[in-house]
Structure 1
Amino acid sequence: MSLSYDASARTFTISTAASTYQMKVDAHGYLLHLYYGALATGDMSYLVTYADRSGMCGCPHDVADRTYSLDVLPQEFPFQGAGDMRSPLLLVRGEDGTFGCDLRYVSHEIRPGKYGLPGLPSVYAQDGDDAETLSITLADERLGLEVELLYGVMPAYDVITRAAVVTNRGEGRVTVEKLQSACLDFVSGDFDLITFDGRHAMERRPSRRPVMNGSMSVGSRRGMSSNQYNPMMVLCDRPATETSGRAWSMSFVYSGGFLAEAERDQYEQTRVQMGLDDDLFSYPLEPGEKIVAPEVIMSFSPAGIERISHNLHRVIRERVCRGPWRDSPRPVLINSWEACYFDFTGDKLVALAKKAASLGLDMLVMDDGWFGARNDDHRGLGDWKPNMAKLGGSVADLARRVNEVGLGFGIWVEPEMVNEDSDLFRAHPDWALAIPGKAPVLGRDQLVLDLSRADVRDNLFEQLCAVLDQGGIDYVKWDYNRSIVDVHSRVTSDQGKVLYDYMLGLYDLLERIVSRYPDLLIEGCSAGGGRFDAGMLHYTPQIWTSDNTDARNRLEIQYGTSFGYPCSAVGAHVSACPNEITGRTIPLGARGTVAMAGGAFGYELDLMELNDRACEIIRTQVATYRKVEHLVREGLFYRLSDPKDADVAAWEFVSEDGREALVCAVVTRVDGYGKAQYVVPRGLTPGATYRMVSNGSEFSADALMDMGLPLTVPAGPYENFMYRFERVD
């Protein structure tokens, strides 16, 4: 069994393929965290020590034992109010304005299957997964507060999920001022924390720092998971590498503001935790009401960071993403944005589609500018009615014309936003988030619609359905291009609820769209990678990784993204050069090799301007991608070098059965008469022989994984390599 309870020791033990997790209800009813690490058996209570550490470490009134203090003990769900002065997961305020609670164990239940969370995305189980759920109930008698801790165990995926439900079962209002979903307490160890930081157009670059005494945190106050910090982190032993050392990960299945913290305390114990951002958060619960802390996916590796990535890739790809596109090849597309921007007509798009068809592409996506008065980014958002004069007919008419040349058809939308210069805003100015009497802060000349309101969501759903019901639309790019600044809804007096309820509203709208159009492929986008998180992947199986399509920068962006997210989710396109953001010029071949590392491959340039040689390169790239797409989408991904520092950026895909491998490399630095460069693959079958598909040469897997494969000497700047191998059985 993956879940067990020892009644005599009062310990809960969770087992996955490569990890054991244990916690204990102690003699005073507090839930202590004992262990999360390599597979182990027995009672790990011996890891917890007790000593009189001075009166500065308080103990609960009914304990009266100076060797006992929650300020020192490792806890499963730390809360403010019982003497733990470290960062809590829960902070509540009673109706009388006082802070604090005292949560004690009440009961538990072990049941088959994986729990779900109402209104929130989460990992799900399918038949044969052998999933189990552990529910532990804690309560505070004074407030009538109940907290249900939920643990989902997916043994084959080697992950444990955590969530919490806070319910007011008392007679007065209780306000939740901080709510996080999971923490890990370590009684000893020297650790590094890896977070994934950046900015618009340079997202998710790894930042590795030692956890020192004190606290450190990353998060988002922007109303979205953000381009600046990603809601995924890795804690690891200080010497840990890709293939050695212990590592633990936390990944938040949520797309709004978040807070991830690491704290090393006075006794050199370490706590890491993740959950909702508490800035502008104050959530009142009337008697009978509840709030759900979104899910955190946790995984442990005894053998380096690489295995953490493999675990997260599998579970997100197979048990977070849903629908027919989860396991299907994605269309190779041409997006109209960099080809046309706002300046297009239906005839111009059909001509672009014909050119794309001649190059072997699958789909044309019509980007911004097809609706209302939208000929620039100052007006029209909110009016999702096609500009028939511009398109030469309805969206369905244009889709049919594109289909006739052999391509699928997609559109761009940004439903969560509104321009002040729009019919929707003129009719319903109160539907935008704005503070009465304060001039609103604009972003890209737009405001954010209040998705916490059912009437706003209903209007957007009706508008989108009026377009999608016409038929012929296979793909939607769902964009979101600004942060939430003015947090005020006209339908509540409790503004601390708004950001959380906004996300519930977004998920409700997306769920309605996904349910009505189950075959629709939706790509998430938020100024590129501003909402690249597991929550969005529950509704959109791919996400536009970054607005920066410069291949050199994309090497770093996609490298960082790969720590926590599967390549199947990575939207990556070949764009024009010089690149519109960096001004850099990189050969078309290297741009293609970099973009093919994403499971959502395509182009974002004016195909009409290409010469014959460029067209032939694109035809070859598309044909190559079709041969390797299954490896990119489903294979194990290996980071062979860090592109930030290495002379050669290299990565690899290997099929789960080891029969196929794809080794890719791009030369990023060249010195005069430079040394030979070797790429050392991993994950091949030991003792096997592999044949290179391009020329039939055979290689020992052990030699390749020991000494590597030499690249062409001399290799020029941005020279690129793709080597396909098949195992000789």
Structure 2
Amino acid sequence: MGITFNEEKKVFLLKTKNTSYQFRVAEFGFLEHLYYGRRVEEAVDYIPVRLRHGFEANPYEMKQDRTLCLDVLEQEYPGFGVSDFKTSACSIIHADGSNCIDFRYVSHRIYNGKYTIEGMPSLRNKGDDWMTLEVVLQDVATKVEVTLFYGVLESCDVITRHAVIRNLEDTEITLHAAHSTCLSFPTDEMDQIDFYGSWGHERNAQRTPVRHGKTVVDSIRGISSHYYNPTIVLCDHETTETAGDCYGVALVYSGNFQITVEVNDFKQTRVVAGIHPDTFYWKLNPGETFATPEAVMSFSAAGLTGLSHHYHDVVRHFLIPGQFENQRCPVLLNNWEATMIDFDEEQLMQIASAGKELGVEMFVMDDGWFGRRTNEFRGLGDWQCNLEKLPSGIAGFSKRIHGLGLKFGIWIEPEMISEDSRLYEEHPDWCIAIPGRKPTRQRYQLILDYSRDEVVEYIFDQIYNEFKDAEIDYIKWDMNRSMTDRFSQALPAERQGELCHRYVLGFYKLMEKLTTTFPQIRFEGCCGGGGRFDMGVLYYAPQIWCSDDTDAIERICIQHGTSFFYPPSVMGAHVSVCPNQQTGRSVSIDTRAALAYYGTFGYELDPNELNDEEKEAVKRQIQYYQEHALTSAFGKYYRLTGVGHEFVAFMSVADDQKSAVFSFVQRRTSANKGIIYIKLRGLNEAAVYTIPELGLELSGASLMYAGLPMPVIKADNTAKTFTLIQK
């Protein structure tokens, strides 16, 4: 059983294939965390030790006994203002202005299957592998109630959490913090790995020891952001890719978030994750509820690669839309880096025709096809085809592309509005801006107020009417700015703190309507590249554009950091023009392909500009990806080295271990250097593998334990890709 309750000891035992998570109903109804780690069968209620701590407060019920204090007791969902001075999971302002909340156990229930969260994405309830635990807590002095939801997915070693707060008072209350999960560790000897960056430099992995005080990973940009990803790893100091204990927390959320790691003087580490409280106030009238986003937790005793594989499996099989599970994206050609906004129909047909000759399977028309969109300063919000650019219209043009034997994709940015647009002229109040204050501009555009249902419905109707008669196979959904000037003209003053979360709910509502209406269309998330690369988006879109930086060498770090939580199959990765538009660097077209194989392979260029040698290379690359994508992008991914070396190596192994794709990148060359040996991973050690690129036949054991000598490469930033096929 995945979830049991020991009635005698009042201990909840949550078990996956290899892990255990335990907490109990402690004295006076406090819900106390006990353990998370390798699987144990018995209750470990002996773990907490009650001591008298100087200068620490005690619950009223303790009377003269001072051995229980909330600042040391590790609560599953700590409240605020009643002597637990660490980061709280929930903070509430009551009608009288007080802000204490003290949750105690009321009841629970256990059932097969998985909970859902109304209006928000979460891991999908598939098969019979899920169990759910609901634990109801109530504040001791009011009728404010919280239900903690725990989902247990045994096969993937994953436990999910979210909370629903209910106001059973006769007066309104205001939520100021409503986090999704709280996780506790009885040690301060841990490392923290988080993923920082900026536009074009997303998800760089940084590892630091946890320290006393608070470390915060967050975003207040209205999106999960380029700057921090809503994920975190905590691990032992000695943990490596292949060994050691490590824990992951990932939010299924696309808006402002906060993950706080706090260490106190009693050598305890607490992690609290959820919606960012700095941009969040939410009024709850009597009888109303508020649901937090889902947090996905996992533990691995097999090092960081083991933890990554848990999350990769969950994303591939329990998060992305089911119709795209194990289905590779068609090899696509996008016109953005070839034409930018300045194009016409015949020019696009020439590009698409040239791509078809090279083996491309889908043509994607990027920004510039709609409304007044003759430059980046105008047109957003008017989702009708510009017939001067595309006389055939979207329906006619898509049929022309299909007539070439290609699938057809199109770019939209439906959350944005240009001031130079028909929509803005008709509804200036529909954008997020403060009346009487000049708005901040980013790319000379504003954000539509998706907290308003009428705005969401209007945009849906525009897109539906434009696309319903077209032959569309793929939509690239972009979003190119952060949220500023946070104000909705549809919300009263006391509810302006709800705007950011209501915006995210509106975004999810539109995604749900479009993906339900057009289930055959593969959506790709994009936000200035990788600015909203999160599990919330992946619920609707089976892939996300990994970064606007398409430089293959830059992509080494970006895709490396992304791989800690997200599988290669969801990473948008393409071969682009050289010199690269973002960095000016030139590398060989084969090196560019070596990085793109581990993702949704495609091209960002004009095939007509390629020379004959490059065209032949493109033909080989497309054929290679068609034959090996289910290994390179969908196999088990291994980070064989770090990214700070003179070389980098990584590989993917098919689930049945019958094939693998391995890539080696020479970052810096030098004279008179020795041979580099790379030990592969994940192979069947008893099997023999053919490596056609090297003319070798070697056992999996030899490749993993003795290693594979790399060819001497007398050039910087040069990649080699090798194929392993089991005999």
Structure 2 counterpart of 1:573, which letter? H
Structure 1 counterpart of 2:595, which letter? V
Relative to structure 1, the CA distance from residue 591 to residue 633 in structure 2 (aligned partners, 3 Å threshold; closer, same or farther) is closer
Partner of 1:541: 542
Partner of 2:3: 3
Partner of 1:207: 206
Q: Give the deviation of 1:311 after TM superposition.
A: 0.3
Contact 2:4–2:13 (8 Å) recurs in 1: yes
Contact 1:227–1:530 (8 Å) recurs in 2: yes
Q: Give the deviation of 1:688 after TM superposition.
A: 2.8
1:329-385 per-residue CA deviation (whole Å, 9 max, x = no partner) reads 211111110011111111011111100000000111110000011011100000001
Partner of 1:669: 668
Partner of 2:526: 525
Contact 2:334–2:364 (8 Å) recurs in 1: yes
TM-score when scaled to structure 1?
A: 0.98
Distance in 2 separating the partners of 1:221 and 1:407 = 41
5+ long unaligned stretches in structure 1 = none
1:400-451 per-residue CA deviation (whole Å, 9 max, x = no partner) reads 1111111111110000000111100110011001112111111100000000
Map 1:448-487 onto structure 2 (within 5 A): 448-487=447-486
Contact 1:94–1:143 (8 Å) recurs in 2: no
Q: Give the deviation of 1:700 after TM superposition.
A: 2.2
5+ long unaligned stretches in structure 2 = none
Q: Give the deviation of 1:595 after TM superposition.
A: 1.0
Partner of 2:619: 619
Partner of 1:180: 179
Task: Report the 3-state secondary structure (helix = DSSP H, G, I; strand = E; otherwise coil) of the residue aligned with 1:619.
Answer: helix
Partner of 1:511: 512
Map 1:257-276 onto structure 2 (within 5 A): 257-276=256-275
User: Are residue 252 (structure 1) and residue 251 (structure 2) matched?
Assistant: yes
Map 1:23-172 onto structure 2 (within 5 A): 23-54=23-54, 56-64=55-63, 65-127=65-127, 129-172=128-171
Contact 2:632–2:651 (8 Å) recurs in 1: no
Partner of 2:605: 605
Q: Give the deviation of 1:594 after TM superposition.
A: 0.9
Q: Give the deviation of 1:323 after TM superposition.
A: 3.6
Distance in 2 separating the partners of 1:252 and 1:133 = 18
Distance in 2 separating the partners of 1:170 and 1:610 = 69
Contact 1:181–1:293 (8 Å) recurs in 2: yes
Distance in 1 separating the partners of 2:457 and 2:322 = 23
TM-score when scaled to structure 2?
A: 0.98
Distance in 2 separating the partners of 1:693 and 1:314 = 29
Contact 1:48–1:187 (8 Å) recurs in 2: no
Contact 1:241–1:305 (8 Å) recurs in 2: yes
Percent of counterpart pairs with the same letter? Answer: 41
Q: Give the deviation of 1:564 after TM superposition.
A: 0.5
Contact 2:326–2:630 (8 Å) recurs in 1: no
Distance in 2 separating the partners of 1:417 and 1:695 = 51
After TM superposition, the structure 1 stretch with the greater mean CA deviation from structure 2, 658-667 or 577-586, is 658-667
Structure 2 counterpart of 1:503, which letter? V
Contact 2:578–2:586 (8 Å) recurs in 1: yes
Contact 1:676–1:714 (8 Å) recurs in 2: no
Distance in 1 separating the partners of 2:68 and 2:713 = 67
Distance in 1 separating the partners of 2:541 and 2:633 = 15
Distance in 2 separating the partners of 1:706 and 1:165 = 50
Relative to structure 1, the CA distance from residue 696 to residue 552 in structure 2 (aligned partners, 3 Å threshold; closer, same or farther) is closer
Task: Report the 3-state secondary structure (helix = DSSP H, G, I; strand = E; otherwise coil) of the residue aligned with 1:324.
Answer: helix
Q: Give the deviation of 1:687 after TM superposition.
A: 3.0
Distance in 1 separating the partners of 2:531 and 2:86 = 30
1:149-197 per-residue CA deviation (whole Å, 9 max, x = no partner) reads 0000100011000000011111111111011111211112510000000
Q: Give the deviation of 1:389 after TM superposition.
A: 1.4
Distance in 2 separating the partners of 1:41 and 1:154 = 17
Partner of 1:417: 416
Distance in 1 separating the partners of 2:628 and 2:715 = 25
Distance in 1 separating the partners of 2:96 and 2:413 = 43
Map 1:153-552 onto structure 2 (within 5 A): 153-493=152-492, 494-552=495-553
Contact 1:451–1:502 (8 Å) recurs in 2: yes
1:103-153 per-residue CA deviation (whole Å, 9 max, x = no partner) reads 1000000000011100000001212x3210000000114331110000001
Task: Report the 3-state secondary structure (helix = DSSP H, G, I; strand = E; otherwise coil) of the residue aligned with 2:396.
Answer: helix
Structure 2 counterpart of 1:597, which letter? Y
1:234-270 per-residue CA deviation (whole Å, 9 max, x = no partner) reads 0000111001110000000000010011111011111
Contact 1:679–1:710 (8 Å) recurs in 2: yes
Distance in 1 separating the partners of 2:602 and 2:669 = 29
Distance in 2 separating the partners of 1:587 and 1:692 = 22
User: Cα RMSD over matched residues?
Assistant: 1.1
Contact 2:372–2:378 (8 Å) recurs in 1: yes
Map 1:633-644 onto structure 2 (within 5 A): 633-643=633-643
Distance in 1 separating the partners of 2:708 and 2:714 = 14
1:5-31 per-residue CA deviation (whole Å, 9 max, x = no partner) reads 000000000001110000000121000
Task: Report the 3-state secondary structure (helix = DSSP H, G, I; strand = E; otherwise coil) of the residue aligned with 1:665.
Answer: strand
Structure 2 counterpart of 1:637, which letter? Y
Partner of 2:656: 657
Distance in 1 separating the partners of 2:391 and 2:85 = 66
Partner of 1:581: 582
Distance in 2 separating the partners of 1:203 and 1:688 = 38
1:294-313 per-residue CA deviation (whole Å, 9 max, x = no partner) reads 00000000121111100000
Distance in 2 separating the partners of 1:345 and 1:714 = 43
Contact 1:347–1:392 (8 Å) recurs in 2: no
Contact 1:148–1:165 (8 Å) recurs in 2: yes
Q: Give the deviation of 1:470 after TM superposition.
A: 1.8
Distance in 2 separating the partners of 1:623 and 1:444 = 38
Partner of 1:682: 681
Contact 2:177–2:277 (8 Å) recurs in 1: yes
Structure 2 counterpart of 1:666, which letter? V
Structure 2 counterpart of 1:7, which letter? E
After TM superposition, the structure 1 stretch with the greater mean CA deviation from structure 2, 455-464 or 80-89, is 80-89
Q: Give the deviation of 1:694 after TM superposition.
A: 4.3
Distance in 2 separating the partners of 1:693 and 1:539 = 39
Structure 2 counterpart of 1:438, which letter? R
Contact 1:323–1:518 (8 Å) recurs in 2: no
Contact 2:89–2:272 (8 Å) recurs in 1: yes
Distance in 2 separating the partners of 1:231 and 1:363 = 32
Structure 1 counterpart of 2:315, which letter? I
Distance in 2 separating the partners of 1:233 and 1:472 = 41
Distance in 2 separating the partners of 1:632 and 1:146 = 48
Distance in 2 separating the partners of 1:510 and 1:100 = 37
